[in-house]
Structure 1
């Protein structure tokens, strides 16, 4: 498994601009992105490139043929699935370096058998108003990544203007 402070997994993503936005998110936070095939678009789709701007070269992206190969690659990493079916809120988890955040396809979410393979405490939800179906994938991913990163004191990120130290990098 590749060492990363955080892994983001997109299971069968369908919409190129969402994946492009998440590539940019991962480049800016240092998270590693994993794409589980099949993808709903061609890897060279111009919409994917446009949404990710010039951040593709700064992001670590791995493509996996299926969920089993992705899971094997991640080894013992704790996997937290995000779903409207989750019973625990995302902010109630104590995230740790090496954790993986799993998100499903935009139009259908994660399959029931995958959700059922995880402990219920690792199937999380974001709060929403009643009657709403779901958040946009890239928005939900950003909320989750930044909460996990916040809990890890923004390791590898720039210090706040109030911080001390000459390098400006958190450790």
Structure 2
């Protein structure tokens, strides 16, 4: 299982869509406070449709609490402030794919502390960033692709298997 982490999400439909993505990809969602909306808000559930109740979700009180309770060596920090493309990172089952808020990204102190763990999605000079839900899907499915090729994941009847092993 992979872990998708949202530091301080601000837009309910993004979080709902990411929740739906996690359910379909067999990933766990971690939301790190502060959150810019009520987690029970209808917009989150609407964007996640009927998937929200199936979501494996953990809500953390703050970034420090999250970072001291996980293995940093299993983290990938998504940012526009690095030159390492996400497809050059090696993803293993259990890794954390971390995204910052839609408005501010990940705190620069964290990015500077864990520079070697930072990844980016290449874009042209015309763009500033991609939508958070789109970015989450791009990187999460690269992690799945790598583990599918390496034999850790399989397909049976059109569904991923081995994802929770």
Residue 150 and residue 117 in structure 1: after superposition, are their counterparts in 2 closer, same or farther (change >3 A)? same
What 5-or-longer segments of structure 2 have no aligned partner?
A: none
Alignment match, 1:134: 129
Alignment match, 1:9: 5
Alignment match, 2:143: 148
Indicate whether 1:123 and 2:118 are aligned: yes
Instruction: Give runs of aligned pairs for residues 55-134 of structure 1, distance below 5 A.
Output: 55-75=51-71, 78-118=74-114, 120-134=115-129
Q: How many residues are matched?
A: 160
Whole-Å Cα distance in 1 between the matches of residues 79 and 72 of structure 2? 22
TM norm structure 2: 0.89
Task: Tell me if the contact between 2:3 and 2:29 (Cα under 8 Å) persists in the aligned partners.
Answer: yes
What value does the CA root-mean-square deviation take over the aligned residues?
A: 1.8
- Give every structure 1 segment of 4 or more consecutive aligned residues whose post-TM-superposition deviation is greater than 3 Å: 154-161, 168-171
Residue 31 and residue 169 in structure 1: after superposition, are their counterparts in 2 closer, same or farther (change >3 A)? closer
The structure that has the greater radius of gyration is 1
**SS of 2:69 mapped into structure 1:** helix
TM norm structure 1: 0.86
Task: Tell me if the contact between 1:95 and 1:151 (Cα under 8 Å) persists in the aligned partners.
Answer: yes
Residue 29 and residue 157 in structure 1: after superposition, are their counterparts in 2 closer, same or farther (change >3 A)? farther
Alignment match, 1:33: 29
